[in-house]
Amino acid sequence: MIKEIEARRSVRKYANRAVDDATIEHILESGRVAPSGSNTQPWHFIVIRNEEIKERVARVSHDQRWMLSAPVFIACVADIRSRLSTREEVVLDEESPQFELKQIIRDTAIAIEHLVLEATALGLGTCWVAWFRQNEVRPVLEIPKDKFLVAILTVGYAEDEPRPRKRKLFSEIVHHDRW
């Protein structure tokens, strides 16, 4: 198996060690080249190093204090404008029904997992965080109402090495020719 897929863990405790800009850029490059439906590339990445903003992001993420040990957050935002031809007002939230929202979440998730694997290749730990509400996190990052924050990725050097978590068996998830 690709060694980054095998080695990847969700890291919730980071070392007090900086991550330089070139490393973050290298990680973002892996997301930039990700595949997306009709090559629409609906993703935006907000690189957050400002401590006050990190603090406010953690607070609206159910006050997960462990997040603050990571020196960098990357807020990964999906833009529905990549799929819409109209200029009419759109407000997105957790219960929005649009198919286009599902498409941009799917595509942004692909790019985010590229960031995760590339960070792993560079010796960094990450964690997907998606426990927040759009209407609470949006103002903190000044994200327009027609965008959807898919996840905050915490990025840093791991302080400890989490053990792999249990997964379902093939017999529970693999089918042949039909469901």
Site for a second copy in 153-172 (CB under 8 A): 164-168, 170
Nearest residue (CB) to a second copy, 16 versus 164 = 164
What is the C-alpha separation between 99 and 92, in angstroms, rounded? 12
Rule CB under 8 A: which of 38-57 touch a second copy? 39, 41, 43-50, 53
> Per CB under 8 A, does 174 bind a second copy?
yes
> Could you say which of 35, 65, 91, 161 contacts a second copy (CB under 8 A)?
35
Rule CB under 8 A: which of 48-107 touch a second copy? 48-50, 53, 77, 94-99, 101-103, 105-107
Per the document, the length of the chain is 179
Residue 70's alpha-carbon distances to 5, 42, 59, in angstroms, are 21, 26, 14
* Sign of the CA dihedral running 149, 155, 158, 159: negative
Supply 126's token pair: 């990450």
Rule CB under 8 A: which of 4-33 touch a second copy? 4-6, 8, 10, 25-26, 28-30, 32-33
- Helix, strand, or coil (residue 70): coil
CB of 17 to a second copy, least distance (A): 21
E strands along 83-165, which residues? 125-129, 147-156
CB of 120 to a second copy, least distance (A): 9
Q: At what angle do helices 99-121 and 21-32 cross, to 10 degrees?
A: 140
Rule CB under 8 A: which of 103-142 touch a second copy? 103, 105-107, 109-110, 112-114, 116-118, 121, 128, 130, 141-142
